Amino acid sequence: MDNTLNLPLRRVLITGADGFLGRGVVAALAQLPDIDTVVALDVREVPATRRVPGVIYEVQDVRGAELQGVMQRHAVDAVIHLAAIVTPGAESNRELEYSVDVLGTRNVLKGCVAAGVRHLVVSSSGAAYGYHADNPAWIDEDHALRGNESFAYSHHKRLVEEMLATYRQRHPQLQQTVLRIGTILGERVNNQITALFDKPQILAVRGSDSPFVFIWDEDVIGCIVHAIRTGHAGCFNVAGDGALTLAQIAALLRKPLLALPAPLLRLALRVGSRLRVSRYGPEQLDFLRYRPVLSNHRLKTEFGYAPAKSSLEAFLAFKAVREKRRNTHLATFA
């Protein structure tokens, strides 16, 4: 039996370390007395103003051949893989996103095995389950990972998870913690989902509740740190208790709910995409109406982490931050 599997994880490397989630993970790990080394990798140089004392920062693309050497040079025993393209920019394309999300993860896995890394923590997504009409009311970790080929992020997460499953069989010495994360909210979160909530009206698909499960960013960081401290392996949904429908969200925001028929929305998205006035195409319709609603039962009972905020509490905290920021802005120009 390999006794090293029972030793604590002390030398941790993080990919995507300068992303909004990565910064929080780096800061949290740097404060732990039982962590000896934190290596923060990002594709761009991290400005001095954002660097945490004691952390080793290096510029490294997850697709680069040098990644394995970085792992070996720092003798890391755990890797936290956060690098991915979640919100593509205007210049992005499917090929680039695939190369980072899928090929980048393959390179990380190969590097981990070659460098003798003992534990890998991966930020996956509830999107790996896919946006399908026959999704159950609550999805647990036994549900099939079907993704959506028309939705790059969802499809890539499915491909990544299939790759991870293959590595679990072929390289059991590399323990894995795979976190299938729900919709993240936090003080600094801005993405295509939060943009929906900033509009004057909350757009919905008629006949669909479109429930959202939310998780506060500090709870996501807490789960990642918990995985490193405990070495607990497995696949776990990461979401707060409960869910909120778009109608409930509209009521909390005191905004009207605009529920349109699916055919009309599909047509509008198609036209907007062709005219390049919208970055979203008709394939985004299923993203809104068939959302996977994640059960966090195993997260709490098997993984041993109970989120501090429920979906409702996370949304209310997000709402409060947005309102404070808006009021501050208005006061500045009053």
Confidence of residue 277 (pLDDT cuts 50, 70, 90): low
Helix axis angle for 217-230 and 20-30, nearest 10°, is 50
Confidence of residue 243 (pLDDT cuts 50, 70, 90): very high
Q: Would you state the pLDDT for residue 279?
A: 62
Q: Would you state the pLDDT for residue 297?
A: 98
**Residue 1 predicted with pLDDT over 90:** no
CB distance 34 to 18 below 8 Å: no
pLDDT digits (tens, 9 = 90+) for 174-209: 999 999 999 999 998 888 889 889 999 998 999 998
Confidence of residue 85 (pLDDT cuts 50, 70, 90): confident
**Residue 13 predicted with pLDDT over 80:** yes
Could you tell me the domains of the chain?
Answer: 9-188+215-240+293-310 (3.40.50.720)
Length of the chain in residues, anyone? 334
Confidence of residue 265 (pLDDT cuts 50, 70, 90): confident
pLDDT digits (tens, 9 = 90+) for 283-299: 778 888 899 999 999 99
- The CA-to-CA distance between both ends of the chain, in Å, stands at 69
DSSP conformation letters of 179-211: EEE-EEE-TT--SHHHHHHHSSSEEEETT----
Rounded to whole angstroms, the Cα distance separating 97 from 155 reads 11
Measured CA distances, 26 to 12, 37, 51, 53, 295 (Å): 10, 11, 9, 10, 27
For residue 140, the tally of other CB atoms under 10 A from its CB is 13
Of 187, 315, 163, nearest in space to 239 by CA: 315
Q: Where are the beta strands (DSSP E) in 56-118?
A: 56-59, 78-81
Does the model's pTM come out above 0.85?
yes
Which single residue is written with the structure tokens 């004392």?
53
DSSP state of 8: P
Q: Would you state the pLDDT for residue 5?
A: 54
Confidence of residue 333 (pLDDT cuts 50, 70, 90): low
**Residue 329 predicted with pLDDT over 60:** no
Portion of the chain with pLDDT greater than 90, in percent: 76
The radius of gyration computed from the CA coordinates of the chain, to the nearest angstrom, equals: 20
CB distance 52 to 80 below 8 Å: no
